[in-house]
Chains A and B, each alone.
Chain A
Amino acid sequence: MKKSRVYDAIGVAGEVLITVGVLALLFLAWQLWINNAFVARDQQKLVAEQSQQWNTVSPTPSEGAKETWPAPAVEKVDAGKVIGNLYIPRLGESNTRAIGESVTPELTLNRGYFGHYSDTQMPGENGNFALAVHRSGWGTGFKDAQLLQTGDRIYIETESGFYGYTVRNIEYVLPTSLDVLAPAPGSEINDANQSIMTITTCSPQDGNVERLVVYAVLDSYRDRVSGPFPDLAPMMKQA
């Protein structure tokens, strides 16, 4: 009788362990694929809606379109609100995400946004427009960030127009290197009058040991009447 109870207890313990294992696998599947796919879909929908709402003119570059310079500074928004849409052609035409104010995970990062470090500058202002984004899970649009190269274009669409950035350099730093958020990050090659965009994300792809940091310089702007940059138009149609 006693022996049978021991066997029963071992059996229950085994079943509990198997259940915990299955739950852990389910959690991983949810984190890596299921939630990722749902959040990414929501983000693409949000970008398309936002773009349509702002789009008072056709998303095709108008003939003889002119760039305006200097680019106007984007106004600050409240935490959790959308600043603009981010397009990175190198990472795929359907790879569009919104930029949200704040880097609080529940407000922006865990909802697939690129989150803006609120203490840093805005696009069009001299200084550093610094963003953070998840590298894996949470519908991230920056999983393949390692593919970015110097000279690649990155675009931000706002209510007023289109900001064109060119990737200046990419570096890997420790998570404690907060100087990447300074108004003039990487000071050796920086001009304090430049408008920089810094995107920080985790590295390696499924780890957290380092930060991959992408620096881009604002070098062009088109207002809504001029329409988007030629290589941005296909991405906007896709969105």
Chain B
Amino acid sequence: MYRALWNALPGPKWARAAILGAAGVIVIVLLMMFVFPLIDNMLSA
């Protein structure tokens, strides 16, 4: 799964690593701002 994702990214290694890093940061921010509060509200309801 992650290998396929890595292969699908364009550019040299450093560019792929940068794209993945940026995507990771965006995913983590979205999780912490929206997904986790939603899950926590559901768990505490």
Q: Which residues of A contact B (CB under 8 A)?
A: 11-12, 15-16, 23, 26-27, 30-31, 34-35, 105-106, 110, 137
Cβ 8 A contact of A27, one of B1, B2, B36, B41: B36
Q: With a CB–CB cut-off of 8 A, which chain B residues contact A27?
A: 31, 36, 39
Q: With a CB–CB cut-off of 8 A, which chain B residues contact A23?
A: 31
Interface size on B, residues (CB 8 A): 12
Cβ-defined contact, A31 with B40, below 8 A: yes
Q: With a CB–CB cut-off of 8 A, which chain A residues contact B28?
A: 26
Q: With A15-B2, A16-B1 given, is the CB distance from A105 to B32 under 8 Å?
A: no
Cβ-defined contact, B41 with A110, below 8 A: yes
Check B45 for interface membership: any CB of A closer than 8 A. Answer: yes
Q: With a CB–CB cut-off of 8 A, which chain A residues contact B39?
A: 27
- Chain B, range 27-43, C-beta contacts under 8 Å to A: 28, 31-32, 36-37, 39-41
Nearest Cβ distance between residue A95 and chain B, in whole angstroms?
A: 22
Q: With A23-B31, A30-B36, A35-B36 given, is the CB distance from A15 to B1 under 8 Å?
A: yes
Docked CA distance A26–B37 (Å): 12
Over the window 1-19 of chain B, the binary record of Cβ atoms lying under 8 Å from chain A Cβ atoms (1 yes, 0 no) is: 1100000000000000000
Docked CA distance A137–B37 (Å): 12
Q: With a CB–CB cut-off of 8 A, which chain A residues contact B31?
A: 23, 26-27, 30
Cβ 8 A contact of A106, one of B1, B2, B41: B41
Nearest Cβ distance between residue A135 and chain B, in whole angstroms?
A: 12
Q: A15-B2, A31-B40, A110-B40 are in contact. List 9 more A-B contacts (CB 8 A).
A: A15-B1, A27-B31, A30-B31, A30-B32, A35-B36, A35-B40, A105-B41, A110-B37, A137-B40
